[in-house]
């Protein structure tokens, strides 16, 4: 049975998710103000540069917020950016208590907002639904601490581990529900990466569809043979595709550092097998999500989900942590975090 604090934090999380894919390079944050178990105001951060969740919640209050409790998914900011510090607004509003889901991951700021609130006589409790609050912004948390994008590898595969026929045909392995989930991942991503062979054979759009006027992610192709002009011919619709010529772990780290400096917080990798294998071997994938269709393709020449060199033993297999499964129509979704070798 959830506690009253958890009920309010679940509400704050639902509010934060309304801005899915719209706040980068800022986090998604929700806030709820309550008195005696009654919600008197709530809000969420809509877009980067717009008021933060706490400010939206204070502005929506149906009665004076003095003495209220504010439940917020992320520690209130304590520094001036494009907007004033939320800590100052909460202190000025004379709230009695702030309940925080997770602390600011930025080492320069972590805990500072809590300290300022407590110094002003406001009670603060932290860690309510911490894991759920942190998972919502795992890309932002990774980027703010490493200045490189959070890399999510998504693969659509058959039950026997194939991503395409020998000729490269891959439409459609998974069903409509799984493909709708891919569109949600594309809305979350600042950039999408595929291999050159995938671009040549599959000609994926790598665009967000079904949402009017959505800011399209950058489209990246790992290739040393295709030029920007070649890619524009292959992928004519959407943001002009960019070739990336990285080879090996060191070159890929430099590319990721460059993308991070350009405010790419979330990078979605959609294949193919050679690119996926090289990034995994280089320990550059932060999370995997495999969409598994209940189909058996077979064929010695059919393309496997992961290419690369043949391992000598099962000891070389890469394990996953915090594995989750769910269904999307007839397809099974398996996600997890690779253990660093």
Domain CATH code at residue 15: 3.40.140.10
Task: Dump pLDDT digits (tens) for 243-280.
Answer: 998 888 999 999 999 999 999 999 999 988 899 999 99
Is 52 among the domain residues?
Answer: yes
**Same-domain status, 172 and 241:** yes
Q: What is the chain's percent helix, strand, coil content, to nearest 5? A: 30, 25, 45
* Domain around 247: 147-338
Residue 228, SS3?
A: helix
Average pLDDT over residues 113-140: 96
Task: Dump pLDDT digits (tens) for 278-316.
Answer: 999 999 999 999 999 999 999 888 889 898 888 888 888
Task: Dump pLDDT digits (tens) for 112-121.
Answer: 999 999 999 9
| Structural domains in the chain (count) | 2
Alpha-carbon distance of 24 to 265, in angstroms, equals 7
Alpha-carbon distance of 293 to 6, in angstroms, equals 36
Q: Which of 296, 304, 303, 292 is nearest to 330 (CA)?
A: 292
Residue 150 pLDDT more than 80? yes
Is 142 among the domain residues?
Answer: no
Q: Which two tokens stand for residue 191?
A: 């950039």
Residues β-bridged to residue 194: 221
Q: What is the pLDDT of residue 20?
A: 96
Most confident of 108-122, 129-143, 295-309, 312-326: 129-143
* Beta-strand relationship, 218-222 and 331-338: unpaired
Q: Which of 154, 163, 103 is nearest to 304 (CA)?
A: 163
Residue 216 pLDDT more than 80? yes
Catalytic hit among 54, 255, 270, 289:
54
**Does the CA dihedral 200-206-212-214 come out positive or negative?**
negative
Crossing angle of the two packed helices 112-119 and 86-93, in degrees rounded to 10:
20
Residue 234 pLDDT more than 90? no
**Same-domain status, 171 and 319:** yes
Whole-prediction pTM value?
A: 0.93
Q: What is the pLDDT of residue 83?
A: 72
Establish whether 54 is a catalytic residue: yes
Q: Which of 73, 10, 4, 12 is nearest to 35 (CA)?
A: 4
Q: What is the CATH number of the domain that holds 314?
A: 3.40.430.10
Are 309 and 273 contacting, i.e. CB atoms less than 8 angstroms apart? no
Residue 45 pLDDT more than 90? yes
């Amino acid at each position: 049975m959830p506690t009253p604090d958890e009920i309010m934090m679940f509400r704050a999380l639902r509010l934060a998710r309304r801005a899915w894919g719209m706040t980068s390079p800022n986090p998604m944050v929700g806030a709820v103000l309550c008195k005696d178990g009654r919600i008197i105001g709530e809000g969420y951060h809509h877009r980067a540069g717009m008021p933060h969740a706490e400010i939206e919640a204070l502005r929506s209050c149906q009665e004076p917020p003095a003495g209220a409790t504010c439940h917020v998914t992320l520690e209130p900011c304590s520094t001036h950016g494009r907007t004033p510090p939320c800590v100052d607004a909460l202190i000025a509003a004379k709230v009695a208590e702030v309940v925080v889901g997770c602390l600011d991951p930025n080492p320069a700021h972590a805990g500072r907002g809590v300290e300022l609130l407590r110094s002003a006589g406001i009670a603060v409790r932290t860690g309510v639904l911490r894991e759920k609050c942190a998972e919502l912004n795992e890309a932002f948390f990774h980027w703010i601490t490493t200045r490189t994008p959070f890399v999510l590898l998504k693969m659509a595969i058959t039950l026997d581990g194939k991503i395409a026929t020998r000729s490269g045909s891959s439409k459609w392995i998974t069903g409509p529900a799984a493909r709708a989930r891919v569109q949600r991942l594309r809305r979350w991503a600042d950039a999408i990466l595929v291999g050159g062979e995938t671009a040549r054979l599959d000609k994926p759009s790598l665009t967000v569809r079904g949402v009017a006027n959505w800011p399209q992610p950058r489209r990246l192709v790992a290739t040393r043979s295709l030029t920007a002009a070649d890619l524009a011919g292959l992928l004519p619709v959407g943001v002009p595709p960019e070739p990336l010529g990285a080879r090996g772990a060191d070159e890929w780290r430099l590319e990721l550092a460059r993308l991070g400096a350009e405010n790419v917080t979330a990078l979605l990798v959609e294949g193919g097998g050679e690119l996926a294998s090289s990034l995994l071997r280089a320990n550059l994938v932060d999370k995997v999500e495999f969409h598994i269709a209940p189909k058996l393709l077979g064929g010695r020449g059919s393309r496997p989900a992961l290419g690369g060199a043949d391992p000598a033993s099962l000891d070389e297999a890469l394990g996953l942590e915090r594995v989750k499964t769910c269904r999307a129509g007839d397809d099974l979704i398996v996600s997890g975090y690779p253990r660093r070798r």
